[in-house]
Amino acid sequence: AAGGWTIDLHPPRGFLDDEPPCSQTRLRDLYTIPFRSIYSRNVSNLLIASRCLSVTHVAHGSTRLQATLATVGQAAGIAAAWCAREEITPRSLGKERFSAYQQELCKRDGFLLDFQNDDPVDLAWAATVSASSSHPLHFGDAGAWIPLLFPVAQQFPAVPGGNGGEILSIDILVRNASGSNAHLEGGVREASRLGDFSRPDDIASMKGTCPAGMTTWVSFIIDPPIPVEPPADLSRPQLLWFYINPPPGDVLDVSIGKDIDHYPGFRGGFFDEDASEWRVARTHDKSPFFTTAVKSRGVFCFSIPGFIAFPAGNAINGYRRPGTHGSNLWMSDPAQGFPQWLELDLGEVHAITEIHLALDNGLDKAYPHAYIGDYQPWPSYGRPPRCPRDFDVMVIEGGKEKQVAAIRGNYQRNVVVKVGNISASKVKIVFHAGNGAKEIGVYEVRVY
């Protein structure tokens, strides 16, 4: 399992204690909870799925959260079933069958950090995938404006739409309410992982001008152009980030447009002048970036022609959740509406009994209570807008399509379609509607 909550320690006497009510150490990354911490050292058949798990007091300041313990409970329950079925102890499972157990946990949507599906009986693993469309590297719905009071940054995956390409320019939505032209400069840098803003050197500069009194797309020229090849592994695309400095002189009222919906695989950042370092913008940053940009969620309104944000290949890259290097998500192009489709070519005819779908239900959203008193992207217990609501599951053999399932009114992340026992060379999912968004997202398709 995995966790990520703040290490939130409370004084022993609670409200009666003279110490502050809590001390919080915020974590930069998620962490893994080891299997060894949920079975007993001296009771051979005991698994633990609650706040009794074996961690230190400090670690328990984070692991005690209900949502975290729910993932631990799932892991313990599946482990208990394995032990009972195979008549082994949890310790033996951890030593002898652990890889197979992890694959089963992943198949059932257990949360394992950066864990890849390599189920040998999953036919999708060796399939060729295509789609009716893919979300381009373009975000233009400005729901907030970030004042350029200090340098700000946007990290993104660079995936060309064809066999390769160059980043010649980056178009950014800028509002200049001043009476002077705003001459803006910045740069582009590489990143080793999602959320990494540590690289000190530019690989290219970028310059653009926003006319006085205008709200417009500004084309920032990239010098030199940045060559980008298609990634050999879509779960690890080339990660880049660009930054923009405040305009010089007395041009003060300049803002960058921001799409307030959040997208996995993207991170915003800003330059912390007190610490003299670039930082990820998080929901707890008490800064103009935090208060003005709707608690820092969302992405800049920017566009890179010819590049894709969420390619179809992500649906079979072996990862069913956002990772440390990419989104692992296919998303349709919102400009093209519905219907949309995703097709897997299995290469030859196979007997098929089940099709598993992991759909986009907003896994990368902030905790809902972080928005109390502020804008909420969707109700705390509402339907995720990009989760496919209405879709048909088809199989294709000999050029003939056959509908094997019609799903209506869905809002769940995990959908398992049992098709009996049919033979087909292709699987196609046709999406007719989401739950309010103009696009839908799919993390993973498995075929058994």
DSSP 330-391: EE--GGG-S-EEEEEEEEEEEEEEEEEEEE-S-TTSPPGGGGTTS--SS-TTS--TTS--EE
Residue type at position 71: T
Helical ranges in 196-320 per DSSP H: 288-292
Q: Tell me the per-residue pLDDT of 427-448, one tens digit each, with 9 for 90 and over.
A: 999 999 999 999 999 999 999 9
**Model confidence at 290: pLDDT above 60:** no
Confidence of residue 147 (pLDDT cuts 50, 70, 90): confident
Report the first-to-last Cα separation within the chain, whole angstroms: 25
Q: How many CB atoms lie within 10 A of CB 345?
A: 14
Question: From its phi and psi, is residue 297 left (phi > 0), alpha (psi between -120 and 50) or beta?
Answer: beta
For residue 422, the cross-strand partners are 352
The confidence score (pLDDT) of residue 371 equals 46
- Domain residue extents for the chain: 2-108, 123-133+310-447, 136-307
Place of tokens 């209900």: 66
147/247 Cα distance (integer angstroms)? 11
258/295 Cα distance (integer angstroms)? 12
Residue type at position 103: Q
For residue 169, the cross-strand partners are 221
Buried b (16+ CB within 10 A) or exposed e, 150-188: ebbbbbbbbbbeeeebebebbbbbbbbebebebebebbb
422/420 Cα distance (integer angstroms)? 6
DSSP-derived 3-state class of residue 60: helix
Q: Which fold has domain 136-307?
A: Jelly Rolls (2.60.120)
Q: Tell me the per-residue pLDDT of 214-257, one tens digit each, with 9 for 90 and over.
A: 999 999 999 999 999 999 888 899 999 999 998 887 666 778 88
58/212 Cα distance (integer angstroms)? 54
pLDDT average, residue stretch 142-168? 88
With residue 441 as reference, give the H or E element that holds it.
Answer: strand 441-447
Do the two domains 123-133+310-447 and 136-307 of this chain adopt the same fold? yes
CB 322, CB 329: distance < 8 Å: yes
Superfamily classification of domain 123-133+310-447: Galactose-binding domain-like (2.60.120.260)
Nearest to 173 by CA among 143, 137, 218, 209: 218
Place of tokens 């999602």: 194
Nearest to 356 by CA among 444, 419, 420, 424: 444
pLDDT average, residue stretch 152-159? 93
The confidence score (pLDDT) of residue 294 equals 42
Q: Tell me the per-residue pLDDT of 401-424, one tens digit each, with 9 for 90 and over.
A: 999 999 999 999 999 999 988 999
Buried b (16+ CB within 10 A) or exposed e, 380-413: eeebbbbbbbbbbbbbbeeeeeeebeebeebeeb
Question: Is the bond preceding 224 in cis, omega lying within 30 degrees of 0?
Answer: yes
The confidence score (pLDDT) of residue 282 equals 60
64/62 Cα distance (integer angstroms)? 6
pLDDT average, residue stretch 392-408? 94
DSSP-derived 3-state class of residue 76: helix
DSSP 121-134: T-GGGG-EEEES--
342/128 Cα distance (integer angstroms)? 11
The confidence score (pLDDT) of residue 249 equals 72
DSSP-derived 3-state class of residue 418: strand
Question: From its phi and psi, is residue 203 left (phi > 0), alpha (psi between -120 and 50) or beta?
Answer: alpha
If you average pLDDT over every residue of the chain, what do you get? 88
31/235 Cα distance (integer angstroms)? 19
439/362 Cα distance (integer angstroms)? 13
Work out whether the CA dihedral 137, 138, 142, 147 comes out positive or negative. positive
**Model confidence at 184: pLDDT above 60:** yes
Q: What's the predicted TM-score (pTM) here?
A: 0.89
Residue 281 — φ and ψ, nearest 5°? -80, 120
Q: How many CB atoms lie within 10 A of CB 278?
A: 20
